[in-house]
C-alpha cells in the first residue's frame, strides 16, 4: 500500500464535517456537489462533472497555477481542460482544508497534493533530476467556487501560493495510479 493512501482516503474529511454541520439545504447541496466533483475528477469521469445537473451551461474557470494564469471560458474549453487531465496520469488529493460555504458558493484553503511524473513537472518549469521518476508535489491553494441557485458549479477559481510549491521523488510502491485512485473512490460514487 502507498504511504499516501490514508491521506488520500481522508481528503474529503473537512468537507464531510462541514456538510454535517450545515443546516441550510442549498449550502449542503453546494458542498455535496463539490465533494462529488472531486470524486469524479480523481476517477477520470469528466463528462459526469460537466452534466447539466452538476455544472452550468457556460462555466468560467480561472486557474493560477505554477506561476501561470489560465482562463477557461465556456463548456468546450473546460471539457478540453479535463480531457487533458485524463492523459496526465496525475493523482490529486488535499489535506489541511478549511472550508466556508455561503449561498453564492464556497471557499477553501488547502494543501493540494499530486503524484505526478517528472516529465509533467519539467513541463511546469521545475528543475528535476529524473524525468522518468514519479514525484509528490504539494502547495497551498485557495479555491473560490461560485454556484447557481440550483447548486450547480458556475466556475472554479484556483489560486496557488507558488512560494509553497514542494516536490520530492517517490518510490514506485508509493505511487497511486489513476486506476487505484478510481478504485479507492468508487464506494463514494455508488
pLDDT of 17 reads: 98
Select from 46, 47, 27, 45 the least CA-distant residue to 106.
Answer: 27
pLDDT of 189 reads: 95
Domain 5-189 carries which CATH code? 3.10.450.50
pLDDT of 64 reads: 97
Taking only the tens place, the pLDDT of each residue in 80-108 is 999 888 667 789 999 999 999 999 999 99
Domain boundaries defined on the chain: 5-189
Largest Cα–Cα distance in the chain? 50
pLDDT of 36 reads: 98
pLDDT of 87 reads: 63
- 3-state SS track over the chain: CCCCHHHHHCCCHHHHHHHHHCCCHHHHHHHHHHHHHHHHHHCCCHHHHCCCCCECCCCEEEEEECCEEEEEECHHHHHHHHHHHCCCCCEEEEEEEEEEEECCEEEEEEEEEEEEEHHHHHHCCCCCCCCCCEEEEEEEEEEEEEECCCCCECCCEEEECHHHCEEEEECHHHCCCHHHHHHHHHHHHC
pLDDT of 85 reads: 80
Total-model pTM: 0.94
Q: How many CB atoms lie within 10 A of CB 180?
A: 15
pLDDT of 126 reads: 87
pLDDT in tens, the chain (190 residues): 899 999 999 999 999 999 999 999 999 999 999 999 999 999 999 999 999 999 999 999 999 998 999 999 999 999 999 988 866 778 999 999 999 999 999 999 999 999 999 998 888 888 999 999 999 999 999 999 999 999 999 999 999 999 999 999 999 999 999 999 999 999 999 8
> Which cell is 141 given?
491553494
Amino acid at each position: 500500500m502507498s504511504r499516501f493512501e490514508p491521506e488520500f482516503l481522508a481528503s474529503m474529511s473537512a468537507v464531510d464535517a462541514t456538510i454535517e454541520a450545515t443546516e441550510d439545504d442549498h449550502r449542503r447541496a453546494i458542498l455535496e456537489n463539490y465533494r462529488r466533483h472531486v470524486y469524479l475528477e480523481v476517477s477520470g469521469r469528466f463528462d459526469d462533472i460537466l452534466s447539466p445537473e452538476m455544472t452550468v451551461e457556460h462555466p468560467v474557470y480561472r486557474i493560477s497555477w505554477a506561476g501561470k494564469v489560465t482562463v477557461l471560458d465556456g463548456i468546450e474549453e473546460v471539457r478540453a481542460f479535463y480531457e487533458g487531465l485524463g492523459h496526465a496520469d496525475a493523482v490529486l488529493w488535499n489535506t489541511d482544508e478549511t472550508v466556508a460555504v455561503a449561498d453564492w458558493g464556497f471557499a477553501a484553503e488547502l494543501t493540494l497534493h499530486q503524484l505526478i511524473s517528472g516529465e509533467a513537472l519539467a513541463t511546469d518549469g521545475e528543475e528535476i533530476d529524473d524525468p522518468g521518476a514519479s514525484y509528490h508535489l504539494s502547495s497551498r491553494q485557495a479555491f473560490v467556487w461560485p454556484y447557481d441557485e440550483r447548486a450547480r458549479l458556475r466556475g472554479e477559481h484556483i489560486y496557488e501560493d507558488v512560494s509553497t510549491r514542494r516536490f520530492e521523488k517517490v518510490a514506485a510502491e508509493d505511487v497511486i495510479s489513476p486506476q487505484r485512485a478510481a478504485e479507492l473512490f468508487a464506494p463514494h460514487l455508488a
